[in-house]
A and B are shown apart, each in its own frame.
Chain A
């Protein structure tokens, strides 16, 4: 049976400032859920409410339809602001954090050593944390989120600062955890990772959810009013089609249609009149969607 974590109508204000307004989304076990948003959109506040650091002003956090009891269900958290005890031995502090999450000492030690082994860090167990490189410190921090075998895992920017080899290792670990049926909440600005792992996303902007749903559906439902054209004689097309044409980031020619219904007609016109290598309907990347829903609000953005 898959677990289901739901946030319903969460509101939160700090003083006069409304930080979250009517946040609702749900995440399932065995799936990764992406929580996106620009800096200051309210992601961390949402996560803190989820973890019971402070209560919401209104709304509920439910697991299987019942109010979530943070003390009963194990939660693992990798905060965006990384930090442990710089001057303490790695093994000692990892055991401490696992114990805080409810493990007994022996079990904590076993689990932590298992993870140190898994992440190739076992040789550093007796070193002080601040003797490690940033990437390795991050791996240590990851262990604090996983060692107590939590059912809900929240990873905030897990890939920042990792080299490609470590990023690969982390991807494997994340996939394993998802495969174990855990609920994974992912927050990142690196959209490629979100696209790789997450089935569903919610985009937060200024304390409200501006878009959410299954990532594939979102992409499919995106207004299909753009064509991507690859051709040897782009210049000619641009000359004839003028203001309808733009160039994408990777140099592809994009033709904006006045409505999605024109799609077939324009495709025919193009293939008949120009030397065309290929035409497809533009499918936005998550990046495009994100920018569309959160961009252009810089002046108001908190």
Chain B
């Protein structure tokens, strides 16, 4: 049986590596990651080149309100918007609009009073934060002037206004902000891999069934060997694929560290503590196995490859719901809700729920251990049950059997399985 299992495992694994789609997606992901990771470096290179031809930076028009110190306004805006060329003018509204529409000027601030203005821009970008910056600048200007009027020297006023508060945060538990990103990435990777590989296992089984290779396979190998061989091969293939993809990302990250470090998110991913990486591996593998076994069992009940989408729907839905619950508690900032606590022990959801809790909160070790023990037990039980479903399922052709029929067959085969031994 062990020998059969090894034969099946290596055959199935070799199939993944000969599969053009598998190779194609891996290559695509690697190229994509290299592209993304090198992009800041490459674009920085371009910017430097562009930097030489300075002078044609965007023009921002500012029309001060009556009674305002034009020079002070000019200076304040120039400080606030270093990327713009600030021009204070006294243009009429129509003319100003024309200039913006024609592209001569990028945008304009028309100050109606020291504390009110209208912002003109051609297309308002989603990420346009100019008004926020202008608010701050004008507020500062207004306060400054008010202080000066009240007899405080401009220098003192400047100091008062630019005083900054120094602070430190020490998180005694987990820093959710820092962990959020990589937890998100890891859960998403787990989600993608389980759905993709689950479907692959199901398709693989259904193809063998529809091509009738199954007739020979079931008489050549034990269903347990077949099921475990296939599922563990897919697990290894998925793991190797992820290792290649994340390995590439890690390599690229180290090559481009200087250009990427500005966004703390990416570096948080690669500076993940080792203990979390180990947890991730454990939950990843166990969660993957549970679903892969179930997908394999579903595949064995389908007669045609086309049936798989409908037959695997409940399973996919189950996982999607688990994923949504975990994701929404993560974004909600509380991963220790009663629902999440329950999910941490249910084998179908614990791989992602418990992992999210470990990274985003502080979970006592015994709870983690309990969750892992339940998962391991479930993997074994579900593996054996799936193999039984497989044995019954592969011999049934025609319309996919109802769940009740499968369960009846299962009961029968489990008793007869004992007889067999």
Taking beta carbons and an 8 Å cutoff, which residues of A are in contact with B? 15, 48, 51-55, 57, 71, 75, 77, 79, 81-86, 88, 96-97, 99-102, 141, 144
Chain A residue nearest in CB terms to B420: A55
B66 within 8 A of A: no
Instruction: Compute how far the CA of A52 lies from the CA of B223 in the bound complex, rounded to whole angstroms.
Output: 11
The one of A55, A81, A96 that contacts B7, using a Cβ cutoff of 8 Å: A96
Asked if A85 and B213 make an inter-chain contact with CB atoms under 8 angstroms apart, the answer reads yes
Q: Please, which residues of chain A bring their CB within 8 A of the CB of B1? A: 71
Instruction: Compute how far the CA of A138 lies from the CA of B216 in the bound complex, rounded to whole angstroms.
Output: 13
Asked if A83 and B416 make an inter-chain contact with CB atoms under 8 angstroms apart, the answer reads no
The one of B8, B215, B391, B413 that contacts A81, using a Cβ cutoff of 8 Å: B215
Asked if A53 and B220 make an inter-chain contact with CB atoms under 8 angstroms apart, the answer reads no
- For residue A73, give the distance in angstroms from its CB to the closest CB of chain B: 13
Instruction: Compute how far the CA of A51 lies from the CA of B223 in the bound complex, rounded to whole angstroms.
Output: 13
Asked if B211 and A86 make an inter-chain contact with CB atoms under 8 angstroms apart, the answer reads yes
Binding site secondary structure of chain B: helix
Asked if B220 and A101 make an inter-chain contact with CB atoms under 8 angstroms apart, the answer reads yes
Task: Using A99-B7, A100-B4 as known contacts, say yes or no to A144 and B216 having CB atoms under 8 A apart.
Answer: yes
B342 within 8 A of A: no
Chain A residue nearest in CB terms to B221: A100
Task: Using A54-B391, A97-B220, A100-B4 as known contacts, say yes or no to A83 and B11 having CB atoms under 8 A apart.
Answer: no
Asked if A83 and B220 make an inter-chain contact with CB atoms under 8 angstroms apart, the answer reads no
Write 29 A-B pairs (CB below 8 A) sorted by A numbering: A48-B395, A53-B218, A53-B395, A54-B395, A54-B416, A55-B419, A57-B416, A71-B1, A77-B216, A79-B216, A79-B219, A81-B212, A82-B215, A83-B212, A83-B214, A83-B216, A84-B211, A84-B213, A85-B213, A86-B211, A96-B7, A97-B216, A100-B7, A100-B8, A100-B217, A100-B220, A100-B221, A101-B220, A102-B4
Asked if B408 and A75 make an inter-chain contact with CB atoms under 8 angstroms apart, the answer reads no
Chain B residue nearest in CB terms to A105: B7
- For residue B241, give the distance in angstroms from its CB to the closest CB of chain A: 21
- For residue B307, give the distance in angstroms from its CB to the closest CB of chain A: 18
Q: Please, which residues of chain B bring their CB within 8 A of the CB of A55? A: 416, 419-420
Asked if A79 and B7 make an inter-chain contact with CB atoms under 8 angstroms apart, the answer reads no
Binding site secondary structure of chain A: loop
Mask of B298-316 contacts with A, CB within 8 angstroms, 1/0: 0000000000000000000
Instruction: Compute how far the CA of A86 lies from the CA of B207 in the bound complex, rounded to whole angstroms.
Output: 10
For the complex with contacts A54-B413, A86-B211, A97-B216, 16 further pairs of A-B residues with Cβ separation under 8 Å are A48-B219, A51-B219, A52-B219, A54-B391, A54-B416, A55-B419, A77-B219, A79-B216, A79-B219, A81-B215, A83-B212, A83-B215, A85-B211, A100-B217, A100-B221, A144-B216
- For residue B101, give the distance in angstroms from its CB to the closest CB of chain A: 60
Q: Please, which residues of chain A bring their CB within 8 A of the CB of B395? A: 48, 53-54
Q: Please, which residues of chain B bring their CB within 8 A of the CB of A101? A: 220
Instruction: Compute how far the CA of A281 lies from the CA of B1 in the bound complex, rounded to whole angstroms.
Output: 57
Asked if B416 and A96 make an inter-chain contact with CB atoms under 8 angstroms apart, the answer reads no
Q: Please, which residues of chain B bring their CB within 8 A of the CB of A100? A: 4, 7-8, 217, 220-221
B3 within 8 A of A: yes
Q: Please, which residues of chain A bring their CB within 8 A of the CB of B391? A: 53-54
Instruction: Compute how far the CA of A95 lies from the CA of B216 in the bound complex, rounded to whole angstroms.
Output: 14
Q: Please, which residues of chain B bring their CB within 8 A of the CB of A84? A: 211, 213, 216
Q: Which residue, B212, B221, B413, B419, has most C-beta atoms of chain A within 10 A?
A: B212
Asked if A102 and B3 make an inter-chain contact with CB atoms under 8 angstroms apart, the answer reads yes
Task: Using A53-B219, A54-B413 as known contacts, say yes or no to A82 and B212 having CB atoms under 8 A apart.
Answer: yes
- For residue A244, give the distance in angstroms from its CB to the closest CB of chain B: 49
- For residue B193, give the distance in angstroms from its CB to the closest CB of chain A: 24
Chain A residue nearest in CB terms to B415: A55
Chain B residue nearest in CB terms to A141: B216
- For residue B129, give the distance in angstroms from its CB to the closest CB of chain A: 55
Q: Please, which residues of chain B bring their CB within 8 A of the CB of A102? A: 3-4
Q: Please, which residues of chain A bring their CB within 8 A of the CB of B419? A: 55
